[in-house]
Amino acid sequence: MNISEKTKLTFTLNNILTLVTTVFAISGVWFHLQSQIDEAKELPKQKNDKIVREGILRMNSDMQYIRTEITEINSRLDKMEDRLYELK
């Protein structure tokens, strides 16, 4: 294929409409993405990952403490129940 000054390009109405539609679609996507980027810039920044992880670890240790306390309370209740039945 040789392209020179004498090369003729023919555009049909269908080609022009396709080109215009494509340009409008791409520009629409571009502006939509720009608006989403601007909106994301205005959102508050999320907490640092380290702070969240420390909170989760603290919560896990608190849960472990609560579990041991519940186990201890259950054993005390069992002892009290046994003593109550002995008194009857």
Q: CA Rg, the chain, in Å?
A: 36
Q: What is the pTM of this model?
A: 0.43
1 or 14, greater pLDDT? 14
What is the average per-residue pLDDT within 64-69? 94
Q: Which residue has the tokens 């306390």?
A: 69
Domain parsing of the chain, residue ranges: 14-43, 45-88
Instruction: Give me 69's structure tokens.
Output: 């306390």
Residue 51 pLDDT: 84
- Cα torsion for 36, 38, 44, 50, to the nearest 10°? 80
